[in-house]
Structure 1
């Protein structure tokens, strides 16, 4: 049985970026842990990452991404592209089941094992079981509550997702890059 299920959401709004996730991990049909830390700060807090999918796979990718950041002087986009290329080409990495949202103070990206590095058109990036709920809520907040900060939008959208998605809980962790 794999441990999985989460909701990760990043929002860029009015020059700010925030990235958050809930704390739930499920195993089969029950909650295995309710306070998993799925958001991490890297590169002296300048980069924030969030992951969804198999926990062990996500940690492996997180380590690889941190290596790429160091190797490319903290250039988020370059590190993301290099990770995606290696992820797709490497016979072992290719089998990893996870996705990542990464951001710094300027960029917000989704990295997938298919070799994709996506910059969301709407400045909202979401992955995981509750992604579509969180993304829809964040888009509505951006449109109808533009006075909110990026952090407030992430928090409220994740709470809305937690109210709807059985794989998402209200134990949130939200970070902002420095």
Structure 2
């Protein structure tokens, strides 16, 4: 049964690929309501700069909810500079325990160029296997494509772009209008 609070919002595809001393996070630009594309140029990958240390984050799910989570993550990173893992765990704990945050419908992929995590509302902070993380409605397609492409000589950005194109060809809630952010290991 569909959730009455969220009438047919379908997401996006976000992928993070770590390779060769850098991490690339790419996301598509499609926002859908039911069977209608509301916007094709949304920017779902952002650079955060709390305390002067850059972090790249991509989100899938409700935009307002994701921005709330990104603001909370920035505050955690300001309080815990240079500690993405700890800040992510603190955010996940708050997200799971706080009555208001618990209702937020979004997921995040975050990186500081060294660490790569998926953060969920279930209290999970997951470090993906094979240096690839993917979320959203086309996430499994992008993940499968990237796992195959990672065996090639392609760099992180090329793997991410090609995996996103494959996901966009398969998932009707994903388009080829990409935002791509790259960050080097610190």
What CA deviation, in whole Å up to 9, does each residue of 1:125-168 have, x standing for no partner?
0000000000001000012x1x2110111111001100111000
**Normalising by the residue count of structure 2, what TM-score does the alignment of the two structures yield?**
0.91
- Tell me, yes or no, if the aligned pair for 1:16 and 1:149 is still in contact at 8 Å: no
1:1-178 equivalent positions in 2, closer than 5 A: 1=7, 3-43=9-49, 44=52, 46-143=54-151, 145=152, 147-178=153-184
The alpha-carbon deviation at position 14 of structure 1 amounts to 2.2
Rounded to whole Å, the distance in 2 between the matches of 1:106 and 1:74 is: 11
The alpha-carbon deviation at position 2 of structure 1 amounts to 5.8
Unaligned runs of 5+ in 1: none
Instruction: Give the paired residue count.
Output: 176
**Normalising by the residue count of structure 1, what TM-score does the alignment of the two structures yield?**
0.95
- Please report the RMSD computed on the Cα atoms of aligned residues, expressed in angstroms: 1.2
Runs of at least 4 residues of structure 1 off by over 4 A? Answer: none
Secondary structure in structure 2 of the residue aligned to 1:153: helix
- Tell me, yes or no, if the aligned pair for 1:4 and 1:52 is still in contact at 8 Å: no
Secondary structure in structure 2 of the residue aligned to 1:102: strand
Unaligned runs of 5+ in 2: 1-6
The alpha-carbon deviation at position 4 of structure 1 amounts to 3.7
